[in-house]
Amino acid sequence: MDTNIVIIGAGVVGLAIAQELSKWFDDVYLIEKNTTFGQETSSRNSEVIHSGIYYPKGSLKATICVEGKKLLYDYCLQKQIAHKKIGKLVVSTNASEDTILYSILQQAQNNNVTDAQLLSLDEIKQLEPHINATTALYFPSTGIVDSFSLMKQLENDAINQGVQVLYKKEITAIRKITNGYELTVNENDEQFSFTASIVINAGGLYADKIAAMVGIHDLSYTIHYWKGEYFSVTNGKHKLLNHLIYPTPNPNNTGLGIHATLDINSRLKLGPNALYLNTKILDYSVNKDHLESFYNAAIKFLPFIELHDLQPDQAGVRPKLQKPGDTFRDFIICNETNKGFKNFINLIGIESPGLTSCLAIAKKVKKLIQ
């Protein structure tokens, strides 16, 4: 074999896997079709370190998020990566939302999230005097991270541990061979091939296509593109919030509802919404016509927001396993030995809480190698 391990995709998950595996294995390659790391989903999100409260008990999303949160905070402290344990409030504004709030509290406890606090109106006002809420759940350990600095540090660690990181190289074909795989790469319209014993598919938005290249045609692996837009809140309004503020989610929503997040530089953003991209064409524009719907969603719990405060900010696309109307789908993290592809490890549908979980995902992948 030309090399031992090839990781496809240099988003935050691929970088975390490279950083973890290079502690244990030699000849690790990380291949990315873009000019640098994190150009897609990993750099277009809320940068939130999640608690793991929304996912079904025992699901991979629940367990790996709770584990990943601790690992990520420890890594950020060790490596001096900018982050802040800012805390999150999930707020209720009426009696029907209270019922949803109590179910979230129960789900959090089921998932071993131990820091949940149910707040009264007076307690809410002490933490957030400017918001509108009758009841709230407070999660002090929810935080934010500088995702670029995190990815840069993961890349540096991986390289220092011997990983060969190759940008502007797109995998175009994968063929199973004896004891491994032959991968064909396109670089500047020229093709070359090499072999590897182990292939790890961390291809994000393209992970289902990469799985299909090797011959894994599983309809349950089909990725659906969901766009999420953000609007920034200007005119100094960030000074009126101290925490992340989330509404109670609609049970039928494919996201968590439009929420208010502060980033590491205290910029205040609203978002994301959830727009199904039927054509699967990447579109990172923000539609100004959605401004009013963002305002109407936020004004319920942020009464200080005015329409002219909002400006189009950024958009991201999530690689979800659900199409409209589908129920919960978990992460797929699987060594495909049972399908006849030993040590071809698929990571499919890695969306939120993928950033929070990246280091825990990397440890899981290491355990899957046979």
The one-letter amino acid code at 363 reads K
Region 288-295: mean pLDDT is: 97
Q: Percent of the chain having pLDDT more than 70? A: 99
Token pair of 327 as six digits: 């129920």
What pLDDT was estimated at residue 249? 85
3-state secondary structure of 88: strand
What pLDDT was estimated at residue 42? 97
Element (H, E) at 125: helix 121-127
Token pair of 284 as six digits: 């990172």
Confidence category of residue 254, pLDDT binned at 50, 70, 90 = low
3-state secondary structure of 208: helix
From residue 81, alpha-carbon distances to 73, 147, 149, 245 in Å are: 9, 9, 6, 23
What pLDDT was estimated at residue 253? 55
From residue 265, alpha-carbon distances to 77, 83, 144, 187, 261 in Å are: 18, 10, 10, 37, 11
Region 50-65: mean pLDDT is: 96
Which range has the worst mean pLDDT, 91-100, 162-171, 295-304?
91-100
What integer best gives the mean pLDDT of the chain? 96
Angstrom distance (rounded) from CA 277 to CA 92? 30
Angstrom distance (rounded) from CA 349 to CA 347? 7
Confidence category of residue 252, pLDDT binned at 50, 70, 90 = low
Pair type for strands 83-84 and 143-145: antiparallel
Element (H, E) at 222: none
